Amino acid sequence: MKKQVALGIDVGGTNTTFGFIDRDGNYLADGNILTQTHEDISDYLRELHYEIEKVTDTIREKVDIVGIGIGAPNGNFYKGTIEFAPNLRWKGVVRLCDLLKEYYPQLPIYMTNDANAAAIGEMVYGGAKGMKDFIMVTLGTGLGSGFVANGQLIYGHDGFAGELGHVIVAPNGRQCGCGRLGCLETYVSATGVKRTAYKMLARYTAPSILRTIPFNDMTAKIVADAALKGDQIAIDIFKYTGKMLGEALANAVTYTSPEAIFLFGGLTKAGDLLFKPTHDHMEMNMLKIFANKVKLLPSQLDKNAAIYGSAALVWNELKV
């Protein structure tokens, strides 16, 4: 009997990766193309389809594809569109699901944004298995999030719910790419860590390895490495980042009262440097009825997480 698999596609700013994953999380085959080669979405999809078919050929006799899941920046679950994604060449509203449907008319196709896909990935394959209420926070260049309540992802009225990165945490605070001031992701993200580094270097006089590095070369990883070597400014940068995240999570808990909050992405590699101050400040600011109830956990998705998340979207929808 053929094995049922979902095709997960992750549309990233640079690469588009895809893979075939079964219900139990077994990873069968994958491939990728460059996202930015084609200005025309039709050319992009023609190449993507060609690559997918090539990979499918290697496993076609063993598998039965049950659906396609896509994670994409500003991906809209209800409409199957990518809308005004700042990091993609395709401008305005792109009807990605409809266009892909022309190649795969017989398959259900689902799309959402990358953080929501990660949340569903965590629920289907990761640490949130069996949980009905949790929050997924993805820490990359920006801060994304997915909220699950009553066992369902919260898409909201328009399909764009769960933008924790754009909660304003500091009125008149740091300038954000969204055009406003003081959004959480200007403090808590790889970019936020970098901005905090320069703020700290400006404010304090302590010597630091970081003083030798120009703004454009600074990364969150450099800060983490310095902190692990005992650099006090670098340690304080993570303390500040954790404070901002912890305070924001304490507020987030009052909305959906989750069982757990998962942190995912490059920044979480800093480990306790990030988790400890985040947890401390979350509990310090928690409303009493929620105190010491909410687990703060690292995501259990790792390699190919974006593809797992996208594929999980299919299993999650077919289950309903």
The answer to whether residue 302 forms part of the interface with its own copies (CB under 8 A) is no
Q: The dihedral of CA 183, 188, 189, 194: what is its sign?
A: positive
Which residue in the set 33, 41, 66, 178 belongs to the binding site for its own copies (CB under 8 A)? 178
* Residue 26: φ, ψ to 5°: -75, 130
User: 163 or 231, CB closer to its own copies?
Assistant: 163
The answer to whether residue 122 forms part of the interface with its own copies (CB under 8 A) is no
Shortest Cβ 208–its own copies spacing (Å): 27
Distance CA 239, CA 233 (A): 10
The answer to whether residue 287 forms part of the interface with its own copies (CB under 8 A) is yes
Shortest Cβ 293–its own copies spacing (Å): 6
Q: What is the arrangement of strands in the sheet containing 63-71, beginning at the earlier edge strand? A: 27-34, 15-22, 3-11, 63-71, 109-112
Shortest Cβ 115–its own copies spacing (Å): 12
Shortest Cβ 320–its own copies spacing (Å): 11
Contacting residues for 124 by C-beta, under 8 A, at least 6 apart: 25, 308, 312, 315, 316
Shortest Cβ 91–its own copies spacing (Å): 15
H helix or E strand, kind and range, residue 70: strand 63-71
What string marks each residue from 235 to 274 as x (binds its own copies by CB under 8 A) or -?
------------x--xxx-xxxxxx---------------
The answer to whether residue 87 forms part of the interface with its own copies (CB under 8 A) is no
Shortest Cβ 112–its own copies spacing (Å): 13
The answer to whether residue 215 forms part of the interface with its own copies (CB under 8 A) is no
Residue with tokens 């328009």: 158
The answer to whether residue 280 forms part of the interface with its own copies (CB under 8 A) is no
* Residue 118: φ, ψ to 5°: -60, -40
Q: Are strands 63-71 and 3-11 parallel, antiparallel or unpaired?
A: parallel
H helix or E strand, kind and range, residue 3: strand 3-11
The answer to whether residue 50 forms part of the interface with its own copies (CB under 8 A) is no
Alpha-carbon separation of residue 148 from 184, 194, 308 (angstroms): 20, 30, 17
Number of residues near its own copies (by CB under 8 A): 44
The answer to whether residue 317 forms part of the interface with its own copies (CB under 8 A) is no
The answer to whether residue 33 forms part of the interface with its own copies (CB under 8 A) is no
The answer to whether residue 93 forms part of the interface with its own copies (CB under 8 A) is no
Q: Using an 8 Å Cβ cutoff, are 119 and 147 in contact?
A: yes
Distance CA 314, CA 69 (A): 5
Which residue in the set 285, 298, 300, 317 belongs to the binding site for its own copies (CB under 8 A)? 285
Residues that bind its own copies (CB under 8 A): 74, 83-84, 132-133, 147, 149-150, 152, 154-164, 166-168, 171, 178-180, 247, 250-252, 254-259, 285, 287-290, 293-294
